[in-house]
Chain A
Amino acid sequence: MRKTKLAAGIIAVASVMAVQSAFADSHIKKYKIEDGAIKASLTGKTGDAAKGKKVAINRKKGNCLACHAISDLKDQPFHGNVGPSLDGVASNYSEGELRLRIVNAKTSNEDTIMPAFYKVDGYNRLIKKFKGKSVLSAQEVEDVLAYVMTLK
């Protein structure tokens, strides 16, 4: 009897935890990875390249220039070189491959330094103000992607 109660208790706790983690994750839109790519838009909408360019430059948002040089943005000072230049990146990768790399680059290379821009859980010692938040929103990912797709 006691044992059953205990087991039921454990199951109850476990299911509460499962629901909680589902909640924490809920604003992240579901996406499907196939052939190393996310083929569908996260929002169902096409991104806006002009907006994406601003997000890419913004140091608190995409901040792509922290690590990547982009000749198209040569009016911006200081391009980093931790990652490869993004010139011509759209000629080398498909849109779906680039979407996956922006969403979570660690799915294709777990050792990469590149942060995941669309992920909210599984972080170690995440600072409070970013709890439950991804670096970019789903639409911002699509906008950045639309801009990156112009880098042929």
Chain B
Amino acid sequence: MTNIKSKLGWKLATAVLGAAVVAGSFAASAVAKDWGKFQVEDRRSGYTYMTDETRDVQNDDFENPGMLWVENGQSLWSTKMGSAGKSCASCHADADKDMKGVAPSYPKYNAKMGKMETLEQRINRDIVEKMGGKALKFDSKEMLSLMTYVGKISSGMPVNVKVDGPAAPFFAKGKAFYYQRRGQLDMSCANCHEDNPGKLIRANTLSEGQINGFPTYRLKWQKPGSVHRRFKGCNKNVRAKPFKRGSDEYVNLELYVKWRGRGLPTETPSVRN
């Protein structure tokens, strides 16, 4: 009798436990994961679409290969460039203070140019006009080093680009680009990054295409890369003719895409696949 009772009791306990496990796993899949600072409203950093392994590489400053570029940028900051015998530090001695909040606010409207300017272009303007140097290419070692260094100084600060006032028409152009289909595969940015983030294209997980971590150290590239390099890659993937780095089209698109990640933390140098 006691035997039967205890057997029944065990069965009942198993059933209850089983139900609890089922309910638990159901709750886990039904309740969205808490991504903390990497999510703002419905916007999620590319960080949240990576594997744990890739995230671990980003999280650890000693493992993150982008940190070497930050260090290189830091030493470049006080290296003289150009005929005027000046370095960046000649005017911006305390970079940690002077450059804080700069990266998350670009691209910015430049009244003299009458259009938007990316941070690379802003850096080049000083190199050419104030330092008497030669403009650096977007994906040159020097520019990527300066960009990761300046980006790192704003680490954790929310993306905050101005898209109203004089920036409004450029923002509208960037938005139109985002929704326009292109190439033989006839896809817009939105087809993948607005409609299908989290889904798989073969082995690749689509993200929202957020750019809060740029220049990003891409494992596929084995080095950091500019936003415009990434745009070119995407355009070529859909078999469309890409634009040039620094073209008005990409500058405006960068403004729009940056705005899509408003509030997300600056993550430079992020690590992505």
- Chain A positions within 8 Å of B, measured between CB atoms, are 59, 65-67, 77-82, 106, 113, 115-116, 123-128, 130, 133, 135
Contacts and interface: CB of A to CB of B under 8 A. Distances in A.
B187 interface: yes
Contacts of A128: 241
B183 A82 contact: no
Interface in B85-116: none
B202 A113 contact: no
Contacts of A113: 187, 191-192, 195-196
Contact of A127 (B181, B191, B196, B236): B236
B239 to A, nearest CB: 5
A140 B257 CA distance: 38
Contact of A80 (B195, B199, B236, B240): B199
Nearest to A77: B203
Given A123-B184, A126-B183, A66 B241 contact: no
B202 A66 contact: yes
B186 A123 contact: yes
B75 interface: no
B183 A127 contact: yes
Given A113-B192, A125-B183, 18 more contacts: A66-B201, A78-B202, A78-B203, A80-B199, A80-B201, A81-B200, A82-B199, A82-B200, A82-B206, A106-B186, A113-B191, A115-B184, A115-B187, A123-B186, A124-B181, A125-B240, A128-B241, A133-B184
Q: Name the 10 nearest CB pairs between A and B, nearest first.
A: A78-B203, A113-B191, A78-B202, A115-B185, A125-B241, A130-B184, A124-B182, A125-B240, A80-B200, A82-B199
B202 A123 contact: no
28 contacts: A59-B202, A67-B201, A80-B199, A80-B200, A80-B202, A82-B196, A82-B201, A82-B206, A113-B192, A113-B195, A115-B184, A115-B185, A115-B186, A116-B186, A123-B184, A124-B180, A124-B183, A124-B240, A125-B235, A125-B240, A126-B183, A126-B239, A127-B240, A127-B241, A128-B241, A130-B184, A133-B184, A135-B184
A87 B224 CA distance: 41
Interface residues of B, number: 23
Contact of A79 (B180, B183, B202): B202
Contacts of B200: 78-82
Contacts of B186: 106, 115-116, 123-124
A135 B239 CA distance: 10
B184 A127 contact: yes
Contacts of A130: 184, 239
B206 to A, nearest CB: 7
B14 to A, nearest CB: 33
A125 B185 CA distance: 11
A67 B187 CA distance: 14
Nearest to B191: A113
Contacts of A124: 180-183, 186, 240
Contacts of A59: 202
B158 to A, nearest CB: 30
Given A125-B240, A125-B241, A127-B239, A65 B185 contact: no
B203 A125 contact: no
